[in-house]
């Protein structure tokens, strides 16, 4: 179940253009489907055997009808070339959400029917062990950079083994499912841990597209500067001729590195998060920048590298680090989000030598985004930055800043003069660079409304009357709270250790191991009464809220890991002690688990509140939801025994 969920999050984000920017859209569909699958398992005929057919339909839908949406407007910026193609977003996205929910409901139907064969905690333990296996397997496949056909083979093998039937219809649907994956997997694409990458050589230039969007081009220094001279501006404006040492964040295929070398730079630290993009540059760049002995390549998250390095640089350069993808399917964070915060720019300032210069360039699209970045640079460095806008429509611009006003040869007309602006500075707590205001964009609100309406209808139609779930309302609140807690953990580890796929996989693995540990403790020991456990959880959440991430970032690597792990996983462990204690006494484990998963889906919707409140305040929301769970539990305990039995039976 979890393996297919992770595969669908990855597949949809890489085949439905810009779906990656809908945060946890596929994840919410997965939770809705799993919840419905558990709720209907005791009410209807088995539907698990239809999983291959539903998967084939979903894969075909995304492969044949990709959708592109407008990259700007509504206070939200998308990068990449824009051209309408396929069906409109308002058609494909609802279909995709429903299709994901249907696939996961079918798998969950089979899981739920097995749940009833075991005691609740035994079933939950087996479920978590399977989740750990699914997460580990998908992480290994991501590391090996294998195409989706391999994901499909793993999923199909599991389905055949579990369904156990060998009829021609089932075999036919599995063949269709694998056939569609085979067709898409061998279409000239490479699969990095982050992207579906395609290359095309035209006139000596290798064009690189990621997830269906033109992203980079491999070309010589001479051709690049002839087309976009802005790449040369940081070196032309550098006060002392040529910087000796340069740090390049977002080195990509190596063009920015090659330009630095062509300007006579003594040494370059080139940081790139995607190993396949680096490999393409190493193999195909005509100037061979990555083979130059002056260059050291670091495959890592840019912010994470800056936090741990002790080197000082004459120039730090952000070289178009727009990732076009999210950290995970669970949080509204792009890979580069933590590069463009006040705290990150302060770290850049610390890394510069006396007279050192920071520069960044990109097609920023909107005037308000350029102004926001310029204001942040001015406040961080204490000196008005140099801002040169080359392309008015595209927002092509280079921004430079230094602690020393004489470090940049900036034309008077390019010296930034701050004016009134509604765009707030971006912080580690609210790292939403591409939103001009602290509000949920209309396009996101539409997705949230779709999720909620589909959930209410789906649960009512397939799960039966809502009154049958009153006994488990506390588990609903627990699900919502735990999803927010999980999201907060993913976000915090991305800040502390980098937004890489490896860190993300470790976090999910750690969460699942914490859940498993709580189950084992609940099975082997007598736990305190729920009010005591809830009190411990609230204390753990208060401590996690009180310790600011800025303090954790000041610690060295081992100390940061120890402190970050303790603060993040202590609440996770206690929360799962509460859940395990409650779950082992449920009258219907399938209904209880289904209600809990629907609560998790609502928690995913509540994650959007971070746009208003910031991620730190999600901890307060988690505490309030757990207190609501405690209150609900007390109400159920005080209800007459006959009423509770009637509710459980319904």
H or E element, residue 175? helix 168-185
Alpha carbon of residue 323 to chain centroid:
11
**Shared fold status for 2-189+436-649 and 221-322+342-414:** no
**Domain 2-189+436-649 classification at class level:** mainly alpha
Residue 609 has pLDDT above 70, yes or no: yes
Domain boundaries, the chain: 2-189+436-649, 221-322+342-414
Count other C-beta atoms under 10 Å from residue 303's C-beta. 29
Question: Which tens digits make up the pLDDT trace of 286-296?
Answer: 999 999 999 99
Mean pLDDT over residues 507-529, rounded? 92
> What's the average model confidence in pLDDT over 27-48?
85
pLDDT of residue 23: 53
Q: Where are the alpha helices (DSSP H) in 401-500?
A: 442-463, 473-497
CA dist., res. 482 & res. 484, Å (int) = 5
Q: What is the pLDDT of residue 400?
A: 95
Half-sphere exposure of 392 (CA within 13 A, CB side): 0
CATH of domain 221-322+342-414: 3.40.50.150
**Mean pLDDT rounded to a whole number for the chain:** 84
Phi-psi region of 429 (alpha: psi -120 to 50; beta: other; left: phi over 0): alpha
**Radius of gyration of the chain measured on its C-alpha atoms:** 26
pLDDT for the residue numbered 82: 45
As a whole number, mean pLDDT of residues 253-263 equals: 95
Q: Is 544 helix (H, G, I), strand (E, B) or coil?
A: helix
Q: Which residues pair with 334 in a beta bridge?
A: 326
Is the alpha carbon torsion for 287, 291, 296, 299 positive or negative?
positive
pLDDT category at 325 given cuts 50, 70, 90 is: low
pLDDT band at 341, cuts 50/70/90? very high
Q: For residue 69, what pLDDT band results from cuts at 50, 70 and 90?
A: very low
For 224-255, give the DSSP string.
HHHH-GGGGHHHHHBTTSS-SEEEEES-TTSH
pLDDT in tens, 189-231: 788 888 888 898 888 889 898 877 778 899 999 999 988 888 9
Bigger pLDDT: 83 or 248? 248
- Is a pLDDT exceeding 90 seen at residue 168? no
- Binned at pLDDT 50, 70 and 90, residue 647 comes out as very low
Query: Does the pLDDT value for residue 71 go beyond 50?
Result: no
Among the ranges 3-17, 135-149, 276-290, which has the highest mean pLDDT value?
Answer: 276-290
Residue with the larger pLDDT of the pair 495 and 16: 495
Dihedral angle over CA of 563, 564, 567, 568, nearest 10: -160
Query: In which band, very low, low, confident or very high, does the pLDDT at 513 lie, cut at 50, 70 and 90?
Result: very high
Helix (H) or strand (E) holding 296: strand 295-299
89-117 pLDDT tens trace:
666 677 788 889 999 999 999 899 888 88
């Amino acid at each position: 179940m979890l393996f297919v969920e992770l595969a669908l999050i990855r597949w949809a984000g890489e085949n439905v253009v810009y779906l990656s920017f809908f945060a946890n859209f596929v994840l919410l569909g997965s939770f809705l489907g799993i919840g419905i699958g558990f709720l209907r398992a005791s009410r209807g005929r088995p539907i698990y055997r239809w999983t291959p057919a539903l998967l084939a339909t979903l894969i075909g839908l995304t492969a044949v009808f990709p959708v592109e949406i407008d990259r700007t407007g509504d206070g939200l910026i998308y990068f990449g070339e824009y051209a309408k193609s396929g069906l409109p977003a308002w058609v494909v996205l609802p279909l995709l959400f429903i299709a994901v929910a249907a696939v996961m409901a079918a798998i969950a139907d089979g899981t739920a029917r097995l749940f009833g064969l075991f005691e609740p905690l035994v079933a939950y333990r087996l479920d978590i062990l399977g989740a750990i296996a699914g997460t580990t397997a998908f992480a290994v496949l991501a590391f090996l950079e294998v195409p989706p056909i391999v994901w499909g083979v793993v999923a199909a093998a599991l389905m055949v083994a579990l369904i156990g039937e060998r009829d021609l219809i089932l075999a036919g649907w599995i063949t269709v499912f694998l056939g569609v994956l085979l067709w898409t997997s061998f279409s000239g694409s490479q699969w990095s841990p982050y992207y579906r990458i395609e290359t095309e050589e035209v006139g000596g230039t290798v064009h690189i597209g990621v997830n269906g969007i033109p992203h980079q081009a491999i070309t010589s220094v001479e051709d690049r500067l002839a087309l976009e001279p802005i790449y040369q501006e940081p070196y032309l404006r550098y006060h002392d001729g040529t910087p000796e040492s340069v740090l390049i964040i977002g080195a990509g295929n190596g063009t920015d590195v090659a330009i630095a070398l062509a300007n006579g730079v003594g040494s370059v630290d080139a940081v790139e998060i995607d190993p396949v993009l680096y490999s393409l540059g190493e193999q195909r760049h005509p100037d061979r920048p990555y083979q130059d002995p002056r260059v050291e390549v670091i495959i890592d998250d840019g912010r994470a590298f800056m936090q741990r390095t002790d080197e000082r640089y004459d120039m730090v350069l952000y070289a178009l680090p727009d990732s076009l993808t999210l950290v995970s399917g669970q949080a509204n964070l792009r890979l580069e989000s933590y590069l463009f915060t006040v705290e990150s720019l302060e770290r850049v300032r610390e890394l510069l030598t006396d007279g050192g210069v920071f520069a960044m360039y990109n097609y920023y699209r909107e005037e308000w985004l350029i102004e926001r970045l310029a204001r942040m640079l001015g406040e961080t460095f204490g000196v008005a930055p140099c801002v040169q806008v080359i392309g008015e429509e595209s927002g092509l611009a280079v921004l430079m800043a230094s602690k020393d006003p004489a470090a940049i040869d900036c034309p008077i007309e390019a010296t930034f003069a701050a004016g009134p602006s509604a765009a707030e500075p971006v912080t580690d707590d609210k790292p939403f660079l591409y939103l001009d205001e602290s509000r949920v964009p209309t396009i996101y609100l539409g997705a949230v409304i779709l999720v909620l309406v589909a959930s209410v209808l789906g649960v009512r139609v397939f799960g039966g009357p809502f009154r049958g779930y009153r006994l488990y309302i506390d588990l609903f609140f627990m699900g919502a709270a735990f999803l927010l807690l999980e999201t907060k953990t993913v976000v915090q580890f991305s800040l502390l250790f980098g937004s890489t796929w490896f860190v993300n996989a470790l976090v999910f693995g750690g969460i699942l191991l914490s859940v498993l540990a709580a189950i084992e403790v609940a099975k082997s020991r007598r736990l305190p009464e729920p009010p005591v456990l809830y009190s411990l959880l609230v204390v753990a959440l208060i401590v996690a809220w009180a310790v600011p991430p800025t303090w954790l970032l000041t610690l060295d690597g081992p100390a940061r890991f120890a402190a970050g792990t303790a603060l993040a996983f202590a609440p996770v462990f206690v929360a799962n002690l509460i859940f395990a204690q409650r779950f082992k006494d449920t009258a219907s484990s399938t209904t209880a688990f289904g209600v809990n998963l629907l609560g998790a889906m609502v928690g995913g919707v509540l994650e959007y509140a971070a746009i208003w409140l910031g991620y730190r305040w999600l901890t307060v929301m988690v505490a309030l939801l757990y207190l609501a769970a405690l209150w609900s539990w007390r109400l159920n305990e005080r209800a007459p025994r006959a009423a509770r039995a009637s509710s459980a039976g319904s």
